[in-house]
């Protein structure tokens, strides 16, 4: 059921919160061995939270998500529950505080079922770099889920939860949503507090929502969005009421179609499915506008230089001294740090630390990091120009559908280039939502993305919802 339907069932006592929670937990226990979407399942804590939600429902004081079971990506701090970032270096780390989003979810009565698997420290595009083993796609378990929020996307796709929280640094909510056939919303930078989100790249990271529909993601976003005194990058512009434009009509909207997103490297099946969605909008009274983003060809390079530089800085705290994993034996302070980090980090994390430190070195800073920052400004400017002519932008979410496990993981450049359709949104700090728009010849989902102006989440949610309802009617006929 959709979250709205679950809420109605719970409030009218047709369904009990504990009963609902147990049904999800039992399904996870039965089926997640094949998917590996969870690192930690919180059965006792979840059942206790469900009982508390039921008491609130019975007393008439239920919060907006009372009794709704959610999964949480394992880089979001949860007090008293392990938060590992899918890394050996944080294998036994138990936070002593909650992330702001967790405080808000708890206040709304949500039930956390567990912490989901991911690429280590959110670095990767396949969810195969996890210390706890890779995640398998519920559509085809021989395929990847995308990353880094692959466990979150798989937990929704497999029916293990009503919705999930993930994080999106360069597409890490939207790309897994596309690969797993669910909806993924990346809010505007600053719309949701990052306090308690273990940092990958601080100027790009954003907590997002995965669900079965745009409306489900909007309902959760209504709870977690807003300014936070613990995070100076949050904004008062994140006003909530993100379901306000659902059903409001889309006639007259102008949709930008950037030609660069449909060029070389994008599979024919993806292009065809996304353009079919564009024609749907046209038939509904929207106007398609041809637009251009010339800087797209530099976007992946700029993104990986900026994100790796920030990641190298953020991960310097993991030294075996303050907290986390420590090597068994070292003869000196320097050896302690070296061995701890060598043993505790996986290959992809090490690769990005090396790349980030190289880009920040004296003599290379201007050539790499500064140039990447200039490209960032250029991309922000190009989006601004497009939005002078358009209300939203339509693009593919990923160049291809989910590929076989092991097919690309040993080719970092190929993996990085797969982010071409998503990274510009993070570079510019804009909101975007991905939803299924078709299937390839093998039956794997294809995702399309709607990009909006800053803090205009309700607009892209409304337009996404209009398409989803039509697409689901087509699915029923099929």
Q: Centre a 10 Å sphere on the Cβ of residue 231 and count the other Cβ atoms it contains.
A: 17
Given 127, 130, 148, 295, the catalytic residue: 148
Long-range contacts: 222-229, Cβ < 8 Å, 24+? 222/64, 223/64, 223/65, 223/104, 223/105, 223/108, 223/110, 224/101, 224/104, 224/105, 224/165, 224/192, 224/193, 225/187, 225/191, 225/192, 226/104, 226/191, 226/192, 226/193, 227/193, 228/100, 228/193, 228/195
Given 7, 73, 115, 253, the catalytic residue: 73
Residue 307's region, left for phi above 0, alpha for psi from -120 to 50, else beta, is alpha
Q: Is 55 helix (H, G, I), strand (E, B) or coil?
A: helix
List, edge to edge, every strand of the sheet that includes 207-211.
38-41, 111-116, 69-73, 163-167, 207-211, 183-186, 432-439, 445-451, 392-396, 254-258, 287-291
Torsions phi, psi for 114 (to 5 deg): 170, -175
Given 172, 213, 434, 449, the catalytic residue: 172
CA 152, CA 276: separation in Å to the nearest integer?
Answer: 28
Q: Is 255 helix (H, G, I), strand (E, B) or coil?
A: strand
469 is an active site residue: no
165 to each of 75, 268, 343, 386, how far by Cα in Å?
10, 31, 29, 30
Residues 6 or more apart whose CB falls under 8 angstroms from that of 165 comprise 70, 71, 72, 73, 76, 101, 105, 152, 207, 208, 209, 210, 220, 224
Structure tokens, 370: 């500064």
172 is an active site residue: yes
73 is an active site residue: yes
Q: Catalytic residues, which ones?
A: 73, 148, 172
């Amino acid at each position: 059921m959709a979250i709205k339907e679950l809420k109605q069932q719970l409030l009218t006592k047709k369904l009990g919160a504990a009963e609902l929670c147990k049904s999800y937990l039992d399904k996870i226990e039965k089926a997640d061995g094949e998917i590996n979407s969870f690192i930690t399942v919180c059965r006792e804590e979840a059942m206790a939270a469900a009982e508390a939600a039921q008491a609130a429902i019975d007393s008439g004081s239920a919060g907006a998500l009372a009794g709704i079971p959610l999964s949480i990506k394992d880089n979001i701090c949860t007090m008293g529950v392990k938060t590992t970032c899918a890394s050996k270096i944080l294998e036994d780390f138990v936070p002593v505080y909650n992330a702001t989003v967790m405080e808000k979810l708890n206040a709304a009565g949500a039930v956390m079922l567990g912490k989901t698997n991911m690429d280590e420290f959110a670095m990767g595009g396949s969810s195969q770099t996890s210390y706890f083993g890779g995640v398998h796609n519920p559509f085809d378990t021989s395929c990847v889920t995308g990353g880094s929020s692959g466990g979150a996307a798989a937990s929704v796709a497999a029916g293990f939860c009503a919705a999930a929280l993930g994080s999106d640094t360069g597409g890490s909510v939207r790309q897994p949503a596309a690969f797993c056939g669910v909806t993924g919303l990346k809010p505007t930078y600053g719309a949701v507090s990052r306090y308690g989100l273990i940092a990958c790249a601080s100027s790009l990271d954003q907590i997002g929502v995965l669900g079965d529909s745009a409306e489900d993601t909007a309902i959760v976003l209504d709870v977690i969005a807003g300014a936070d005194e613990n995070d100076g990058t949050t904004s008062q512009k994140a006003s909530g009421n993100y379901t306000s434009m659902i059903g409001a009509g889309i006639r007259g909207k102008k949709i930008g179609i950037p030609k660069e997103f449909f060029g070389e490297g994008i599979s024919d099946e993806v292009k065809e499915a996304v353009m079919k969605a564009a024609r749907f909008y046209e038939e509904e009274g929207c106007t398609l506008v041809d637009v251009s983003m010339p800087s797209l060809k530099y976007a992946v390079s700029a993104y990986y230089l900026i994100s790796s530089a920030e990641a190298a800085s953020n991960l310097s705290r993991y030294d075996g001294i303050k907290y986390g994993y420590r090597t068994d034996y070292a003869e000196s302070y320097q050896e302690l740090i070296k061995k701890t980090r060598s043993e505790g980090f996986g290959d992809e994390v090490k690769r990005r630390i090396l790349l980030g430190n190289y880009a920040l070195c004296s003599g290379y800073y201007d050539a790499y990091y500064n140039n990447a920052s200039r490209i960032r400004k250029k991309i922000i400017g190009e989006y601004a120009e497009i939005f002078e002519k358009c209300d939203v932008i339509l693009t593919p979410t990923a160049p291809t559908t989910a590929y076989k496990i092991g097919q690309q993981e040993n080719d970092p450049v190929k993996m990085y280039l797969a982010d071409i359709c998503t990274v510009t949104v993070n570079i510019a700090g804009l909101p975007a939502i991905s939803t299924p728009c078709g299937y390839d010849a093998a039956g794997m989902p294809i995702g399309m993305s709607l990009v909006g102006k800053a803090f205009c989440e309700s607009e892209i949610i409304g337009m996404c919802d209009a398409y989803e309802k039509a697409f689901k009617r087509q699915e029923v006929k099929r």
